[in-house]
Amino acid sequence: MTYKVHPKFKSIAFFMPSLAGGGAERVILTLAEEFSRYNIKVYLVLVKHQGHYISQVPKNIKIINLNTNQFYVTQKLSTFLKKYNPDVLLSAMDRPNIVAIWSKTLSRYKGKTIISVHTTTTRSCYNKLSLKSLITPTLVKLFYNKSDLIIAVSKGVSDDLTKKLKIKNKIITIYNPIDLKNIRLKSMETPSHPWLKNKETPILLGVGRLTKAKNFPLLIKATSLVIKKTPVRLIILGEGSDQAKINKLIKKLGLQQIISMPGFVKNPYSYMRRSSVFVLSSLWEGFGNVIVEALATSTPVVSTDCPNGPREILENGKYGTLVPIGDPYKMANAILSTIRSSQKVTHLNIDKFESKHIAGLYISSINKLF
């Protein structure tokens, strides 16, 4: 599927904190790559020039390193807008979105400001005990309506913004872009992990930041129940603030020989292709890129029915198994059923997530602002 469109703008700046190895960062980099193919001047404006994806930025995309902290980022971004004056400023995630709108006001920037929302704001904020998290919903209500366009990455995220945060119009839904060709190509590479060379023992796979939202303790507890019925091993790819907590749980359950945590892996797709089941255990999502990536490698998926994304991607459970949030017994049963069926996902049309098509939708939507 392709989406042919001619941009009405000549330059765009993507604003992000960094290029850490998360889903939103991967999305922005993919969009930047696709936009550059339209001969659009692309700037990648980072608060800090760091992250696992830095090495993957094409040479034709100009990286602007603000090299600052949260106290001066608005001033630095305002300076960038005055100097380079891109036709479009596009940011992602709640705090960068707020900074982008604030900077637009301070710099009197005349270009179009677009914010993309990659998580269920009310869930992510109300599950953190910090002043920033408590005031973020208020700031979202105050600032988001000052943007020219709001892009929600799922219908659920759009509904959350509309109903709970009372955001007015300007909201459209565009799913995240997935480079399907690249994923399928990389999935054919041989992973270095020794467990994936032994096809006798089924491998469960989880991928994501080690944070509360991803709820890897649920997957670990479910795994402890699965091994009572059949031998399996679990690999969790990712880094994050909850790593010590997760390691403690693994040790408590005596699963050190069953669970492996290699950290961030540049090519998770080779892991996906060789796993028996991909499992998403999140408390909340915005979309769930990893589900589409797993499906692209024909790997069966078990996912919590969390807000928002998994139900939309899996079409109400038609293309994967949805289980309740926080129930290790139902997750374990779903994993066991999936292993026993040993069926690959082959009939799902995921071209609607293809990066070229999604970039076309973005450009078409931005064109309407000019």
Q: Which residues pair with residue 263 across a beta bridge?
A: 237
CA 348 to CA 242: how far, in whole Å?
Answer: 34
Strand segments (E) across 240-360: 259-263, 277-280, 301-304, 321-323
| pLDDT for res 1 | 46
SS3 314: coil
pLDDT of 199 reads: 73
pLDDT 10s digit of each residue in the chain, 370 long? 445 789 999 999 999 999 987 889 999 999 999 999 998 999 999 999 999 999 999 999 999 999 998 889 999 999 999 999 999 999 998 889 999 999 999 999 999 999 999 987 766 555 555 555 667 778 888 889 899 999 999 999 999 888 876 777 799 999 999 999 999 999 999 998 999 987 789 999 999 999 999 999 999 999 999 999 999 999 999 999 999 999 999 999 999 999 999 999 999 999 999 999 999 999 999 999 999 999 999 999 999 999 999 999 999 999 999 999 999 999 999 999 999 987 666 567 788 999 999 999 999 999 999 9
CA distances (Å), 293 to each of 184, 271, 342, 354, 367, in order?
9, 11, 19, 11, 29
- Do residues 299 and 272 make contact, with C-beta atoms less than 8 angstroms apart? yes
Domains of the chain with bracketed CATH: 11-177+354-367 (3.40.50.2000), 180-351 (3.40.50.2000)
Q: Compute the distance between CA of residue 38 and CA of residue 3 in angstroms, rounded to an integer.
A: 12
The structure tokens listed for 241 are 């603030």
Residue 310 main-chain phi, psi, to 5 deg: -55, -45
Identify the CA nearest to 255 among candidates 276, 234, 269, 270.
234
Angle between helix axes 131-144 and 94-107 (nearest 10 degrees) is 50
For residues 144 and 170, what is the distance between their CA atoms, to the nearest angstrom? Answer: 9
Instruction: Look at the block and give the residue holding tokens 């270095």.
Output: 192
Beta-carbon-side half-sphere exposure of residue 19 (alpha carbons within 13 Å): 22
Count CA within 13 A, CB hemisphere, residue 87.
Answer: 14
Dihedrals φ, ψ of 119, to 5°? -150, 165
- DSSP assignments along 278-333, one per residue: EEE--S--SS-HHHHHHHHTT--EEEE--SSSHHHHTTTTTTSEEE-TT-HHHHHH
pLDDT value for 122 = 65
* Cα distances (angstroms) measured from residue 332 to each of 88, 222, 261, 311, 341: 46, 5, 20, 19, 14
Strands in 189-332 per DSSP E: 203-207, 233-237, 259-263, 277-280, 301-304, 321-323
Q: How many C-beta neighbours within 10 Å does residue 254 have? A: 9
